[in-house]
Every structure is written in structure tokens, then in C-alpha cells.
Amino acid sequence: MKRNFQKKESGGVNMTPMIDVVFQMIIFFVCTAQLEKEMFSEFIRLADSPNAPEMAGEKDPRTITIEVDADGRTTIGGTRLTAPKLKNLLVKVVADYGVHGPSIPILIRADAAARHARVKTVMDVCAGAGLYKIAFVAVKDAAEGRVGRTSESRRSNVE
Amino acid sequence: MTPMIDVVFQLLIYFLVTFSTADVLAHLDVSRPTPDAAASNQPPPADMIRVAVAPEGYAINGRDVTEDELAGLLERLAAVSLKQTVLVTCADASLHGRLITALDLCAANGLTKISVMSGK
């Protein structure tokens, strides 16, 4: 029989090294896939906005996301920035891009519990640097098991 | 084969437990007048919808309203024209979530020309 070699219990092809390598690869890809998403703070609880347009999958690669947490701290990519530093940074970025500088989109990820005064500072700095494409990030559809901070009051009022 | 199947099941259970779907995010585009223009204090054109966000409650065109009334009024104003500019003035002390609520109501009614200013 031709299939005889597959049925042999002892002396068959040793699968163990291959499985080891495949597991290593799976773990490698799982770890690297996670790293790409870790840029934004997970402690910011965004406000709910079920009616706003959904964020486009392909966004402008120049987009700068500015985060404002509940205590009013301003960060970009995890780096804390004061208003003057933020201003210097944005002015420099706008200058680097030349003619296309002012059209760099700005996304503001602000916590629902942040005071408007802090968000205002960020917006003023952006406007001062000549940036005009400013947008707020909100949660359109919360993942299961998680409910945004303002959703309770919203549901009773709007729907 | 048994140990391998055990390990694979463990991994499967681990990934099932740790799996979490990401939130679907939305963007609310606003335009921000430059600080100099805001400081010059010229009166806004009459055909604008002026929405004020206070720490407690909202106001539309100078009238204090609740969130429900704001939704109703915006719906009626949006029915007239979607090309109107909405000027949202937010108080410093109010929470960002309340500004988002107001912007969301505008988005719900199809008003897209939104300008955010900050009042005291």
C-alpha cells in the first residue's frame, strides 16, 4: 500500500519543531499587531456621539492627534506638552510642510470630563499655528460591555 | 497529540477571553476662528444659529433651553436650511462632553457648518 508510510506510528516525520516554529510566528505577529495600536491613551473616556459621521478608515497620514485627559493634561503620542511647547511644535510642523502646512488635519481626543477651558487652549494653539482642519473624536458605537460616560443621559433624552 | 491539543485549547481560550472589539469612532469637524478674529468682537451675522453651552443647560439664539428643547429647535431650524452656520459658544467651566452633545445634535440634524467659540 502507498499510504503505509503515513500510518507508521514510530519513525514518522517529527512534527514538533514545525509546530514550535509556527507558534513562535503566531506569538510574534500577535505582539507586533498590538504595538501599532498602543499610541493613544486608553484612560481617556471619549464622549458619545451616535449621529456624527464615522471616522474614515484611510485617514490623512499627516493627521496629528492631540489628547486631552480628564485632568486637562495635553499629550501627543504619550508625550506631555504644555501650551507653549505645543505651539512651538505645531508652528514648526506647519512650517516644515510649507504650502500644505495649514491643511494638516488635527484630531482632538478629549475626555468627556475634561473642562472646556483645556480644549479651548488646544484649539486656540492650533488656530494660532494656522491650522484650520480641527475635529473632535467621539465614540459612535461603543464596543460591547463598555458604555461611555454621557450615554446614560443621552439615551433618555434623544431616543 | 494530546499535549498539543491541550496547549492549542489553552491558547484558544486565552484569545477568546482577551479579545475585545474596538469602539467605532466618529469625527465632529468644527472650524475655529483665529484668536485675533475672536478678540475683535464683531457681532455675528443674523442668519446664524447661535448655540451656547453653559455648565448647566444650553441656550439657543439667546434663549435658555434644555437638551430636549435644543434638539427640537435645531431640528426645526435645520428644516429651513442646512447651509446655516452654527456658532457654538462654550463656557470655560463646562465639560467637553456637553460640547460634544451639542455638536452631536447639530450633526444629527445635518448641520455641518459649525464654528466653535469659547466664552467666559
Whether residue A33 sits in one domain with residue A73: no
* Residue B90 forms contact with A (CB below 8 Å): yes
Q: Is residue A108 part of a domain?
A: yes
In terms of DSSP bridges, do strands B63-65 and A134-141 run parallel, antiparallel, or are they unpaired?
A: unpaired
B-chain residues within 8 Å CB-CB of A18?
none
Whether residue A81 sits in one domain with residue A31: no
A-chain residues within 8 Å CB-CB of B101?
47, 49, 150, 154
**How far apart are the C-alpha atoms of B90 and B103, rounded to whole Å?**
11
**What is the per-residue pLDDT for A10?**
58
* Residue B107 forms contact with A (CB below 8 Å): yes
* Residue A7 forms contact with B (CB below 8 Å): no
**In sequence order, what are the beta bridge partners of B116?**
B88
Provide the residue-wise pLDDT of chain A in tens; the chain has 159 residues.
455 555 555 567 888 888 889 989 988 888 887 666 657 777 888 888 888 888 777 777 888 888 988 888 898 888 888 889 999 999 999 898 888 888 888 888 888 888 888 888 888 888 888 888 888 888 887 766 554 444 444 333 333
* Residue A95 Cα, gap to closest chain B Cα (Å): 18
Q: Is residue A59 part of a domain?
A: no
**Any idea which residue has 467637553 for its cell?**
B96
Which residues of chain B from 68 to 87 reach within 8 Å of chain A, CB to CB?
A: 68, 71
Whether residue A151 sits in one domain with residue A74: yes
Whether residue A82 sits in one domain with residue A152: yes
Q: Is residue A50 part of a domain?
A: no
Nine cell digits for residue B113: 457648518
Would you tell me how many other CB atoms lie within 10 Å of the CB of residue A138? 30
**What is the per-residue pLDDT for A4?**
52
Q: Is residue A131 part of a domain?
A: yes
Nearest CA in chain A to B105: A51
Nine cell digits for residue B4: 498539543
Whether residue A71 sits in one domain with residue A27: no
Whether residue A79 sits in one domain with residue A139: yes
Q: What amino acid occupies position A152?
A: E
Closest listed residue to residue A107, CA positions, set A44, A48, A62? A62
Contact assignment for A120 to B20 by CB distance below 8 Å:
no
Query: Which of B27, B30, B96 is nearest residue A47 as measured by Cβ atoms?
Result: B96
B-chain residues within 8 Å CB-CB of A158?
71, 105, 108
Show the low-confidence residues of chain B (pLDDT under 70): 34-46, 119-120
Q: What is the pTM of this model?
A: 0.72
Q: Is residue A138 part of a domain?
A: yes
Closest listed residue to residue A114, CA positions, set A75, A154, A157, A144? A75
Residues contacting residue B86 through CB under 8 Å, at least 6 positions apart = B48, B49, B50, B51, B106, B111, B113, B114, B115
Whether residue A77 sits in one domain with residue A154: yes
In terms of DSSP bridges, do strands B49-53 and B58-60 run parallel, antiparallel, or are they unpaired?
A: antiparallel
In terms of DSSP bridges, do strands B114-119 and B86-91 run parallel, antiparallel, or are they unpaired?
A: parallel
List % helix, strand, coil for chain A (3-state, nearest 5). Answer: 45, 20, 40
Whether residue A107 sits in one domain with residue A149: yes
B-chain residues within 8 Å CB-CB of A120?
90, 92, 118
Whether residue A91 sits in one domain with residue A146: yes
Expressed as residue numbers, the domain containing A15 is: 4-37
Number of domains in chain A: 2
Q: Is residue A112 part of a domain?
A: yes
Q: Phi/psi at B18 (nearest 5 deg)? A: -80, -10
A-chain residues within 8 Å CB-CB of B107?
49, 51-53
The enclosing H or E element of B116 equals strand B114-119
* Residue A25 forms contact with B (CB below 8 Å): no
Q: Is residue A104 part of a domain?
A: yes
CATH 3.40.50.800 fits B23-119, yes or no: no
Q: Is residue A69 part of a domain?
A: yes
**Does residue A149 contact residue A112 with C-beta atoms inside 8 Å?**
yes
B-chain residues within 8 Å CB-CB of A138?
25-28, 100, 104
Closest listed residue to residue A149, CA positions, set A45, A42, A36, A15? A45
Distance from chain centroid for Cα A46: 12
How wide is the angle at C-alpha A75 spanned by C-alphas A74 and A81, nearest 5°? 70
